[in-house]
């Protein structure tokens, strides 16, 4: 049975969305400004479709404009770049998200780098990556922001904690590490070449797992009382012949040892969307040159 406190990502994401809704109302009232978010989906990745559908609904719920651009998988790179360029120049659009992964014939880096950094609500553009690492005001990636908000609900101060981030992708691992460093954690980044990973994890007060391997992190790796943020979203076969979602952490055994843990689903996933909406509101305020409630 679970000894750990379960971190309710669904509830905390709802709280973040309520803050965004209040900010959107304020921007409307004080500045006649209605933030707008455009999502570009190329092809039919099933995981992306769920995400995009949830996102569009919640964008409208917080009072923002939402546009969905669904393009067929065979769309040319030039056509995707042309759409991004159009959105860059559309004054009603303050945030642009190009859903990843893109089909193989499209150079993702080229497309992401073509997004106006002021509208880069994913925070993937090198300008925003640089701003994050030097500590300037930036649009910060959504999943990392959400992960740190969840950790701070159970650990009001992260200062001085040993934190391990498992995974070093540009989307999750590296920006999580940047945010934890900003919170004054002692940060270790583990990856596929890390030796004796269980020993490294065992020293950590805070574990952020972003690997993409179902239930890789075992209960025996966890320092008693540690906080676990499970970013992984893996669809695996379940007993009844259907599929289910599991994280990168072996939930049941880790929950016996940890002090607090996020579930999958209902953990980091909902926070990602809430933080995306937050970034769109922030981008709108920054582009308009007015004060933002968020950064
Ligand atoms: N909750 C959410 O909102 C989101 C969830 N996700 C989920 O998070 C997970 C990670 O996503 P993402 O960062 O995009 O994945 P990537 O595949 O881009 O990166 C995975 C990372 O894990 C490392 N890794 C692979 N195998 C091992 C291993 N055996 N031991 C230690 N490290 C290993 C890789 O190391 P190396 O660099 O050496 O190859 C790499 O750095 C996925 O499950 C994804 O679905 C992703 C985005 C949002
Ligand atoms: N440019 C870009 N930005 C992204 O942020 C991005 C992306 N591309 N590509 C795909 C990944 C994945 N991702 C998720 C977001 C929310 C949930 C989510 O809401 N999950 C819920 C429910 C999941 C379900 O039931 O299927 C949960 O975990 O509780 C999942 C996954 C964002 N990503």
The pLDDT tens digits of the residues spanning 167-191 come to: 999 999 999 999 999 999 999 999 9
Q: What is the mean pLDDT of the chain?
A: 96
How far does residue 99's CA lie from ligand 2's centre (Å)?
10
Kindly report the backbone phi and psi dihedral angles of residue 106, in degrees, each rounded to the nearest multiple of 5, phi listed first. Answer: -110, 130
The pLDDT tens digits of the residues spanning 238-267 come to: 999 999 999 999 999 999 999 999 999 999
Residue 209's pLDDT is 99
Residue 112's pLDDT is 98
* CATH code matching the domain that covers 32-117, chosen among 3.40.50.10860, 3.40.50.2300, 3.40.50.11900, 3.40.190.10: 3.40.50.10860
Lowest-confidence pick of 10-24, 49-63, 92-106, 256-270 = 49-63
Among all residues, which ones are annotated catalytic?
A: 55, 99, 122
DSSP state of 118: G
Residue 46's pLDDT is 76
The pLDDT tens digits of the residues spanning 104-131 come to: 999 999 999 999 999 999 999 999 999 9
- As for the ipTM of the complex, it is 0.98
Distance CA 143, CA 169 (A): 12
Query: Where does the pLDDT of residue 286 fall: very low under 50, low under 70, confident under 90, or very high at 90 and above?
Result: very high
Distance CA 171, CA 193 (A): 19
Atom 26, ligand 2: which residue's CA is nearest? Answer: 50
- Which residue shows structure tokens 């159009």? 86
Sign, Cα dihedral of 20, 50, 272, 276: negative
Query: Where does the pLDDT of residue 134 fall: very low under 50, low under 70, confident under 90, or very high at 90 and above?
Result: very high
Q: How do beta strands 260-261 and 65-71 pair? A: unpaired
- The answer to whether 115 is a known ligand-binding residue is no
Query: Where does the pLDDT of residue 2 fall: very low under 50, low under 70, confident under 90, or very high at 90 and above?
Result: low
- Percent of the chain past pLDDT 90, that is, above it, reads 94
Query: Does ligand 1 have an atom closer than 6 angstroms to the CB of 189?
Result: no
Question: Closest ligand 1 atom, CA of 172?
Answer: 13
Residue 47's region, left for phi above 0, alpha for psi from -120 to 50, else beta, is alpha
Q: Which of 208, 246, 200 is CA-nearest to residue 228?
A: 208
Q: Which of 210, 207, 153 is CA-nearest to residue 180?
A: 207
How far does residue 275's CA lie from ligand 1's centre (Å)?
20
Residue 1's pLDDT is 53
Domain residue extents for the chain: 32-117, 142-268
Matching CATH topology for 32-117 and 142-268?
Answer: yes
Q: What is the mean pLDDT of residues 50-58?
A: 86
How far does residue 55's CA lie from ligand 2's centre (Å)?
9
- The answer to whether 222 is a known ligand-binding residue is no
Residue 54's pLDDT is 86
Q: What is the mean pLDDT of residues 28-52?
A: 90
Distance CA 216, CA 219 (A): 10
Topology annotation, domain 142-268: Rossmann fold (3.40.50)
- The answer to whether 17 is a known ligand-binding residue is no
Query: Does ligand 1 have an atom closer than 6 angstroms to the CB of 211?
Result: yes
């Amino acid at each position: 049975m679970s000894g750990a406190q379960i971190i309710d990502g669904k509830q905390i994401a709802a709280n973040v969305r309520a803050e965004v809704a209040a900010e959107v109302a304020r921007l409307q009232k004080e500045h006649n400004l209605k933030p707008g978010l455009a999502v570009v989906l190329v092809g039919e990745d099933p995981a992306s479709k769920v995400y995009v559908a949830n996102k569009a609904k919640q964008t409208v719920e917080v009072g923002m404009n939402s546009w969905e651009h669904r393009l067929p998988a065979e769309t040319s790179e030039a056509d995707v770049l042309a759409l991004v360029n159009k959105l860059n120049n559309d004054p009603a659009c303050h945030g642009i998200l190009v859903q990843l992964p893109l089909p193989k014939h499209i150079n993702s880096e080229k497309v992401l780098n073509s997004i106006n950094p002021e509208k880069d609500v994913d925070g993937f553009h090198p300008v925003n990556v640089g701003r994050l690492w030097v500590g300037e005001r930036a649009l910060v990636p959504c999943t990392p922001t959400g992960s740190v908000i969840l950790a701070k609900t159970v650990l009001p101060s992260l200062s001085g904690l040993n934190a391990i981030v498992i995974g070093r992708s540009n989307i999750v691992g590296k920006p999580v590490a940047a945010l934890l460093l900003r919170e004054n954690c002692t940060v270790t980044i583990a990856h596929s070449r890390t030796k004796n990973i269980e020993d490294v994890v065992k020293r950590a007060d805070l574990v952020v797992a972003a690997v993409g391997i179902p239930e890789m992190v075992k209960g025996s790796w966890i320092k008693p009382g540690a906080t676990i943020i499970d970013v992984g979203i893996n669809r695996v076969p379940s007993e009844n012949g259907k599929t289910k979602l599991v994280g990168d952490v072996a939930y049941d055994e880790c929950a016996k040892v940890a002090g607090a843990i996020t579930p999958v689903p209902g953990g980091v996933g909902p926070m990602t969307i809430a933080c995306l909406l937050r970034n769109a509101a922030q981008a709108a305020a920054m582009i308009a040159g007015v004060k933002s409630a968020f950064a």
